[in-house]
Structure 1
Amino acid sequence: MAKRDYYDVLGVSRGASKDELKRAYRKLAMQFHPDRNPGDAEAEHKFKELNEAYDVLKDDDKKAAYDRFGHAAFENGGGPRPGGAGFAGGFADIFEEMFGEFMGGARRGAGPGRGSDLRYNMTISLEDAFRGRQTEIRIPTSASCEVCDGTGAEKGSKPIPCPTCHGAGKVRAQQGFFTIERTCPACGGVGQVIENPCKACTGSGRQRKDKTLSVNIPAGVEDGTRIRLAGEGEAGMRGAPPGDLYLFLSIEPHPIFHREGPDIHCRVPVAMVTAALGGQIEVPTIEGSRARVAVPAGTQSGKQFRLKGKGMSVLRSPSRGDMYVEVAVETPMNLTKRQRELLEEFQAEAGDDTTSPQSHSFFDKVKELWDDLRD
């Protein structure tokens, strides 16, 4: 009986992607699996046919040969064996992908567990975020055992391959057409056992200790910035790679400045006379210096002045944001008798519209609104 075209077996086009091939195979393999069709010779044949087709088409080299020569590319013993390697490379792969973690199975390349990642929360000032900062932090962690150099075995001895899994870290069990793979129960997936555990670390290869690290916080970091320190997390089991340390930054509120991205905002009180007559004011900057701002005559509250390049540092860039100075005109308090007399004279002289155009405009609109309501 002539073999069917592998693409027809899977029900896909010749241009199908690997994902499309896998989806088609998984669907049909579940449909025709012998466990779902006990005693059905036709279903068993189709299942073997599916495995054979998928084993070829999922492999780039085999697929290229098949696309060029068809089934002849695998004649004379060169092709996949139905129910054999085709199953191991096909349904077993997808079964492990779908159910491996559920069954507690070890992943490929099992070995001593990588160390856990650690998190360290740090609060810095806005000035630190502007300039950057070099600092030291102290963290409690697990470090490689100094007595056994992280092996977990007493000096003079060493771990041996696990006799149960022969060093693979996983064991397989055949159940009908299924090959179930799981973590070796004897070594816990490490692949080794220790006959003489280190007394200092009881065989784990690591000990609890505090570690001091030098940390460089770059200029321009923002609230919530995360800095990764590779390999500074907990030590791995029995010499396995360590985890990473993640530094999470919080920037404490500033008494004067308010940050918005790379820009800084500052609200500055200005005397009524200065706002009315014009003048200059001095404002602080984030780098600790002073800047002069010219206030034109007649400046109102809420007016903003931009100081270009006086804002925050920008992360990994030589540029800086801007600083915005917002004016808050201050009304004088605790007037002397003479000061009150002068203001009353000024009010009488000024009238009610020429020196306060915003008030005049506002109340004109209010008057129009009231007139409309009366109509």
Structure 2
Amino acid sequence: EVLKGFGFEDLFRRATREKRKTYRRPVKGEDIYYTVELTLEEAFSGTVVSVPLVREVPCDACGGEGYDKSRGERVCPTCGGRGEVVQRSFFITMAQTCPTCGGEGVIREACPRCGGKGVVSVREEVKVRIPPGVDNSSKVLAEGKGHAGRFGGPPGDLIIVIKLKPHRIFERKGNNLYVDVNIKLTEAILGTGIEVPTIEGQKVKVRIPPGVKEGELIRVEGLGMPRLTGGGRGDMFVRVHIDVPKLGFLDKLFGDGKRIKQLLEELDRLLPEPQRIEERKQ
């Protein structure tokens, strides 16, 4: 009581009132995450997915306020409508938010439909457009399709997380696509042209140069995946595998594999020795 003249009690009351003013500040609703599996073709062209949701929306009975407006409100019996309770200990006066009314100063009857939460759960199906070029872990945002906000706050968002199914032909790395092809030994030596499928379902003629090596990559520009930003497309890479026949196959083909073996040994003597160990580029 002695310190009242110094304004400590007013200070505590003022701080408590500020706290009470912000007690029911608008709060944004929680986001909802939903994983969608797509084929590589769907990721290439884009698609529309239907997402089944159970989400919270503002209660239609109380308008999201959480209390029964028809029954009005009454003064809190604990704090007498002040929204705070004062405790005194020796020379110190402390004020804190009223535990009964939560600082509101009034008691309201909870809405019978939402039980005072201000929100109810509903089932709905939301259609979301997936843009071309999405990849694993890409996120597509549907604004305002999350859970309802509280105290007038905006709703959260629906966030679609993309998961791509493995493809039977193509391997994806970033915006580039990789496809494995097999060629004959003679084609590897002489060179050839082969038809390779594209992600659009068409075929493109790819030239295999003479002397191609096992695992060598041949680049086909502009036939990869669409870029999500900046436009354009990645590239397609053709990975070459050389099908080397076994002597047992040649025996069946020519009847007597000894002559074939002799020709191969003679060819081996004529060919230059390769560099066995490849040095890495610095």
TM-score, normalization: structure 2?
0.74
Are 1:115 and 2:32 counterparts?
no
Q: 1:194 aligns with which of 89, 103, 108?
A: 108
Give the direction of change, closer, same or farther, for the CA distance of 1:241–1:188 in structure 2 (3 Å limit). Answer: farther
Residue 132 (structure 1) aligns with: 46
Q: Which amino acid in the other structure matches residue 113 of structure 2?
A: A
Distance (whole Å) between structure 2 residues aligned to residue 138 and residue 113 of structure 1:
25
Q: 2:56 aligns with which of 122, 126, 142?
A: 142
Residue 275 (structure 1) aligns with: 188
Q: Which runs of 4+ in 1 moved over 6 A?
A: 164-168, 174-180, 189-192
Distance (whole Å) between structure 2 residues aligned to residue 309 and residue 108 of structure 1:
56
Higher strand fraction (1 or 2):
2
Q: Is the 8 Å Cα contact of residues 113 and 190 (structure 1) preserved in structure 2? A: no
Residue 290 (structure 1) aligns with: 203
Q: Is the 8 Å Cα contact of residues 133 and 218 (structure 1) preserved in structure 2? A: yes
Are 1:225 and 2:138 counterparts?
yes
SS where residue 186 of structure 2 aligns? Answer: helix
Q: Is the 8 Å Cα contact of residues 194 and 203 (structure 1) preserved in structure 2? A: no
Counterparts of residues 1-375 of structure 1 (less than 5 Å): 108=22, 110-111=24-25, 113-154=27-68, 157=70, 160=73, 163=76, 171=84, 182=97, 184-188=98-102, 193-195=107-109, 197-237=110-150, 240-332=153-245, 334-335=249-250, 336-338=252-254, 341=257, 343-344=260-261, 346-354=263-271, 357=272, 360-362=273-275
Aligned length: 265
Give the direction of change, closer, same or farther, for the CA distance of 1:229–1:337 in structure 2 (3 Å limit). Answer: closer
Q: Which amino acid in the other structure matches residue 66 of structure 2?
A: G
Deviation track 1:87-115 (CA, whole Å, cap 9, x = no partner) reads 78xxx79xx9xxxxxxxx87935346543
Q: Is the 8 Å Cα contact of residues 230 and 245 (structure 1) preserved in structure 2? A: yes
Deviation track 1:39-69 (CA, whole Å, cap 9, x = no partner) reads xxxxxxxxxxxxxxxxxxxxxxxxxxxxxxx
**1:133, CA displacement in angstroms?**
1.7
* Structure index of larger Rg: 1
Distance (whole Å) between structure 1 residues aligned to residue 163 and residue 103 of structure 2:
39
Distance (whole Å) between structure 1 residues aligned to residue 205 and residue 198 of structure 2:
10
For structure 1, list consecutive stretches of 5 or more residues without a partner in the other structure.
1-81, 97-104, 366-375
Q: Is the 8 Å Cα contact of residues 23 and 103 (structure 2) preserved in structure 1? A: no
Q: Which amino acid in the other structure matches residue 264 of structure 2?
A: Q
Percent identical across equivalent pairs?
Answer: 32
CA RMSD of aligned residues (A): 3.9
**1:293, CA displacement in angstroms?**
0.7
The structure whose RCO (Cα within 8 Å, separation 6+) is larger is: 2
Distance (whole Å) between structure 2 residues aligned to residue 353 and residue 181 of structure 1:
97
For structure 2, list consecutive stretches of 5 or more residues without a partner in the other structure.
1-5, 278-282
Q: Which amino acid in the other structure matches residue 45 of structure 2?
A: R
Residue 44 (structure 1) aligns with: none
Distance (whole Å) between structure 2 residues aligned to residue 141 and residue 237 of structure 1:
14
